[in-house]
Structure 1
Amino acid sequence: MGKLFIIGTPIGNLKDISLRAIETLKESDIIFVEDKRVTIKLLNNLDIGKKELFTFSEYNANKVLKKAVELVKENNVCSLVSDAGMPVISDPGYQLINKCWQENIEVDIIPGPNAPSAAIAVSGFPGSKYMFQGFLPRGKNKRRVLRKIKDLGILFVFFESPQRLNNTLKEILEIVGDREIFIAREMTKVHQEFFRGKVSEAIIHFSEKNIKGEITVVLSGKEGENEKI
């Protein structure tokens, strides 16, 4: 019976990986990956060399789950990584982890970089309580989510695409109000950008540029409702 390690990988700067993560990747008989191209780049950067990679993504997870569990049972050290950050946190992997628990396969965790916690820390907002959404839904469902969080006194953290950012900011201004907001773009990468200000200011700031990259948004809670949930 093998053992599955859940390994956090860098969200941008490849130097942010932990020593324990490197050691475990080197020892791994097989690595479950979201995208082989991304993981190969990481392994090459770490001089780990060629490893057996098995694609386990949101698109094929249910189809290959049985085979993936068999591989964990057949190999001593198996690792699960995503393209960036912690697996399962808005990334694939929970099906494999859940099945390992059901099959009494040992699971361990090697924590690493995480975009939501990193954004909260650098925002300077009080972060003892927060709600994490992942990517917001589209259309009416997005507006429904914004109405639900309007009166919460905790941080609201979510991911957004460059193409949708300005439209989402306008909907936040309309439904939630002109709150303090922090927007992290391309964290730890060469073109990293941090913005902190009012939602109305963010709309002006980001409408004046061609936005690219991965974006994490931290919206402050309603004043006077501190940490009410």
Structure 2
Amino acid sequence: MPGVLYLVATPIGNLEDVTLRALRVLREVDVVAAEDTRRVRALLDRHGIRNRVVSYHEHNERARVGELLALLRSGGSVALVSDAGTPVLSDPGYELVRACVEEGIPVVPVPGPSAVTAALVASGLPTDRFLFAGFPPRRRQARRRFLADLARLPATLVLFESPRRLSACLLDLQEVAGNRRVAVCRELTKRHEEVLRGTVQEVLARLGTAPVRGEVTLVVEGAAAPAAPQQDVEQVLREALAGGVSVREASEVAARRCGISRREAYRRALALSEGC
């Protein structure tokens, strides 16, 4: 029987943010594969865990995949962890996960901290639809194309960015997407945690010229959904009402299909039902 590859989420800053299940898995597996062995050892030492730790990063990934696969094929278990947060998200690990899936080796996520979801829920921007897009390109032209492609999507965007390039990224974002609402989330869960909310212009003004420090997650307001033509909304409502559904049910159908608010859809449905 093959072993199990565990994808273990670890704290993104505050070492208290680790689950009991994660600690148990880290204690019981045969080996912990870590992007930064020093950081994971600090976590293990804090909780009195003595286990074998090996490095797994972008520079040794190909060689390490073979070693870990051999262990897993023989029935051993591996816990993969990143520098911080949930592994494989903009971090090494995809090659190992893909290889395990192809060989039928179980891959088990152990959920926990994530800078993506932490920033999203604290941003004050819509959370019902979002896209995580990793790191923007470093070069300006490539970054502008990258942001322009994303800016068309009607979903909140979550990006990682270097503190050294944050201001340049925001300026590019303003040029290609306008003065949207954003949230710059810095040093989440750490002592100097900070969330700057506002339009791109407002946030740039607050950042000023002082160097930005710490790890940054950028959350960007998505594109506004195009307004549905009046006749399309009314057509959907008439068809729904003719089918015998209630005004409320008809309005929910129209809101979902036409991309308008439920309040607006209900107002129009009520007017049609009353013959106005």
TM-score scaled by length of structure 2: 0.78
Q: Which structure shows the higher helix fraction?
A: 2
Gaps of 5+ in 1: none
Q: Of the two structures, which has the highest relative contact order with CA contacts closer than 8 Å and spacing of 6 or more?
A: 1
Partner of 2:218: 217
Give 1:38's aligned residue.
39
Equivalent positions of 1:1-16 (< 5 A) are: 1-16=2-17
Task: Look up the match of 1:204.
Answer: 205
Aligned to 1:69: 69
1:147 and 1:175 in contact (8 A); partners too: yes
What is the Cα deviation at residue 63 of structure 1?
2.4
Q: CA deviation at 1:208?
A: 4.0
Q: Scaled by the length of structure 1, what TM-score is found?
A: 0.93
Q: Counterpart of 2:186? A: 185
Partner of 1:108: 108
Moved over 4 A (4+): 224-228
Query: Cα 1:225–1:15, aligned 2, differ >3 Å: closer, same or farther?
Result: farther
Letter of the structure 2 residue corresponding to residue 218 of structure 1: V
Query: CA separation of 1:40/1:151 partners in 2, compared to 1, >3 Å: closer, same or farther?
Result: same
Structure showing greater Rg: 2
CA RMSD for the aligned pairs?
A: 1.7
Letter in 1 for 2:191: V
In structure 2, how many angstroms separate the alpha carbons of the residues matched to 1:225 and 1:166? 29
Q: Which residue of 2 aligns with 1:118?
A: 118
Q: Deviations over 1:14-59 (max 9, x none)?
A: 101000001111111111111111111111111112x111211111
**Residues 71, 77 of structure 2: 8 Å contact kept:** no
Structure 1 pair 225/116, CA: closer, same or farther in 2 (3 Å)?
farther
Q: Deviations over 1:83-123 (max 9, x none)?
A: 10111001111111111112221221111111111111111
* Cα pair 1:30 1:75 within 8 Å, conserved: no
Aligned with 2:188: secondary structure? coil
Helix, strand or coil for the counterpart of 1:2?
coil
1:143 matched to which residue of 2?
144
How many correspondences in the alignment?
227
Distance 1:6 1:222 in 2: 33
